[in-house]
């Protein structure tokens, strides 16, 4: 491989906006480890909009839902592989029922980029990773052969230790650095607000929204949760997410609808009401606008089989 062929001419995805003030995650890596490797159930304590100085390689092993990386919002499914740079807020939300759990949904690798850059002072071969580290500041989602090969390598890291563990980790980085099978996620001018006061207010608001978005949730209801007037909270929400309260709720409803369409046999009409819509026409228009397909066409594509006209 050569540095001149790595991470060039990406396809850029800009189909989302920023979400909310994120939570800081404290990543603990042992003194004798270069990186942290783990498998997480969903949800768990840090299954939320969070950030940290460490880079993160995030593999979705099962389930589907909505991915949030910086100001990017999009769908994810099994095999989704993303690299997130330092302090870039991120979250992967599976739209599951209250009390539900998805065992071992995520495989996560976290490492501090300074360790890689410091090593390159003495190991010049590692300088070829600089382009990967730079591009990952906007978030990178890999696909195709790269994602499949990286998945196999990542899964095998957990079975070994010592130098072999480090070697397998470096092989993953080398593979990703050489690949062109990726898209940039967050826009280059995304600059999140990470202050504690905003974080606290937005976390309370978002928890309430996630708990009630399938109901008749309204802006004044959420404003009261955070002790703000409706107008003040509306401006606050837009300033700190880059999108309106209504747009945010719609994205959650459509994400939940996508899961139900692909995994259940409920009719489109039933799903419409289940995710919080009271009018089928409005649901169909919102779904087409966000997904680019009608619900029935989406279901057919997601499940790989023909569906009846009234499903």
Cα 239 to Cα 18, 19, 20, 203, distances in angstroms: 10, 10, 9, 15
> If you search the block for the tokens 């928890």, which residue do you land on?
207
Q: How confident is the model at residue 5 (pLDDT cuts 50, 70, 90)?
A: very low
CA 231 distance to own-chain centroid: 30
Copy the structure tokens of residue 180.
């062109």
Closest CA to 77 of 59, 91, 58, 63: 63
Other CB atoms within a 10 A radius of the CB of residue 83 amount to 26
- pLDDT of 256 reads 85
* Mean pLDDT computed over 138-143: 95
Q: Write the burial class of residue 309 (CB in 10 Å: 0-12 exposed, 13-18 middle, 19+ buried).
A: exposed
Most confident of 70-74, 207-211, 262-266: 262-266
3-state secondary structure of 232: helix
Q: What is the DSSP letter of 21?
A: P
User: Does residue 169 register a pLDDT over 90?
Assistant: yes
What pLDDT score does 32 carry?
Answer: 62
- Does the bond joining 43 to the residue before it have cis omega, within 30 degrees of 0? yes
Whether the per-residue pLDDT at 255 is higher than 80: the answer is: yes
CA distances from 248 to 59, 95, 174, 187, 241 (A): 25, 14, 37, 18, 9
Query: Which domains are assigned to the chain?
Result: 8-184 (2.60.120), 196-303 (1.10.10.60)
Name the phi and psi angles at 141, rounded to 5.
Answer: -110, 120
pTM (two decimals): 0.66
């Amino acid at each position: 491989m050569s540095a001149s062929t790595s991470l060039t001419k990406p396809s850029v995805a800009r189909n989302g906006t920023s979400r909310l003030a994120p939570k800081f995650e404290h990543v603990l890596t042992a003194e004798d480890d270069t990186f942290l490797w783990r498998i997480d159930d969903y949800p768990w304590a840090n299954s939320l909009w969070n950030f940290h100085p460490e880079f993160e390689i995030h593999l979705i092993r099962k389930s589907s839902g909505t991915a949030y990386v910086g100001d990017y919002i999009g769908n994810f499914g099994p095999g989704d592989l993303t690299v997130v740079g330092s302090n870039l807020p991120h979250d992967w939300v599976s739209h599951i029922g209250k009390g539900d759990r998805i065992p071992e949904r995520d495989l996560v690798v976290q490492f501090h980029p300074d360790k890689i850059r410091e090593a390159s002072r003495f190991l010049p071969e590692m300088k070829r990773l600089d382009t990967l580290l730079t591009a990952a500041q906007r978030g990178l989602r890999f696909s195709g052969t790269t994602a499949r090969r990286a998945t196999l390598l990542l899964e095998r890291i957990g079975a070994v230790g010592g130098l072999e563990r480090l070697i397998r980790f470096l092989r993953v980085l080398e593979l990703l650095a050489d690949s062109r099978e990726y898209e940039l996620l967050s826009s280059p001018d995304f600059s999140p607000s990470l202050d504690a006061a905003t974080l606290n207010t937005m976390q309370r608001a978002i928890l309430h929204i996630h708990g009630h978005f399938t109901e008749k949730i309204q802006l004044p209801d959420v404003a009261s949760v955070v002790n703000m007037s409706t107008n003040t909270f509306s401006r606050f929400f837009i300033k700190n997410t880059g999108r309106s309260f209504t747009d945010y709720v719609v994205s959650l409803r459509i994400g939940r609808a996508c899961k139900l369409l692909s995994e259940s046999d409920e009719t489109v009409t039933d799903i419409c009401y289940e995710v919080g819509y009271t009018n089928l026409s409005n649901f169909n228009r919102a779904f087409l606008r966000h997904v680019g397909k009608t619900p029935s066409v989406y279901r057919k594509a997601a499940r790989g089989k023909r569906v009846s006209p009234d499903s």
